[in-house]
Chain A
Amino acid sequence: MKLQLSHFQAMLLFALAISIAFGFLSRRPALERLKYIGWSLLMFLLIGIGIGWVMYPFSR
């Protein structure tokens, strides 16, 4: 089995899996879970992309 993912796809899948797990473990009502998963996913992506841009000047 061999998977070829772009950096963004890998980050998206990682963020999604972790956000879902954290959402289900830490919140109980369905709406609270959904809100938590959404926020967590958004923060993962924004911070990940933000760090990527911060590192851009040093990348070459």
Chain B
Amino acid sequence: MEETHIAAEPSEHKAKSEGMAFAVGLAGWVLPGLGHALQKMWARAIACFLTVGVLVVIGAGMRGNLFTAEGGYAFAALGYVADLGTGTFYLLAKSLEIDGPDVSRADGDYGTRFLAAAGVLNLLAALHAYEAARGRKA
């Protein structure tokens, strides 16, 4: 009985730390940089927050297309996934784009890329935070 108890402990601990790592990754997605901040990686947290934030603000300022769930075609669905990658900054972009997107000019088209890049970058940062929480990245 004692032996079983001892053997069960490491896997239980592993499952707990795996759950914690997932929570850290999720936090990093919801608020850019939070996943690193929770692990006291301050420089990375600030860098993620600022770079994703700047890309979102510029993208919305250039009136890029912020995709919604009602896209209707494959490219719009991909764009929506990319835009959602910014987490809560998606709402920030929406609140900044009062006049809506304007992709009739090159500026608007560039803005769309800025927003998508911000989302993908944040997903990458969240994945990095998750891996770091699992002890696989320094």
Which residues from 5 to 60 on chain A have a C-beta closer than 8 Å to any C-beta of chain B? 5, 7, 10, 13-14, 17-18, 20-21, 23-25, 28
Contact A28 B138, beta carbon cutoff 8 Å:
yes
Q: Which of A4, A5, A7, A21 sits near B125, CB closer than 8 Å?
A: A21
Overall SS of chain A's interface: helix
B-side contacts of A20, CB under 8 Å: 47, 50-51
Q: Which of A5, A7, A25, A28 sits near B124, CB closer than 8 Å?
A: A25
Q: Which residue of A lies closest to B43 (CB)?
A: A24
Q: A10-B110, A17-B54, A25-B124 are in contact. Are A1 and B44 (CB under 8 A)?
A: no
Q: A4-B107, A21-B48 are in contact. Are A14 and B62 (CB under 8 A)?
A: no
Interface residue tally of chain A, by bracket? 10 to 19
Interface residue tally of chain B, by bracket? 20 to 34
A8 CB to nearest chain B CB (Å) = 11
Overall SS of chain B's interface: helix
Assembly CA distance A14 to B43 (angstroms): 20
Q: A14-B55, A18-B117, A18-B121 are in contact. Are A24 and B44 (CB under 8 A)?
A: yes
Contact B62 A10, beta carbon cutoff 8 Å:
yes
Q: Which of A3, A7, A25 sits near B128, CB closer than 8 Å?
A: A25
Contact B61 A24, beta carbon cutoff 8 Å:
no
- Say whether B80 faces chain A, with CB atoms less than 8 Å apart: no
A-side contacts of B110, CB under 8 Å: 5, 7, 10
B-side contacts of A10, CB under 8 Å: 58, 62, 107, 110, 114
Measured CB to CB, the residues of B under 8 A from A are 43-44, 47-48, 50-52, 54-55, 57-58, 60-63, 96-99, 106-107, 110, 113-114, 117, 121, 124-125, 128, 138
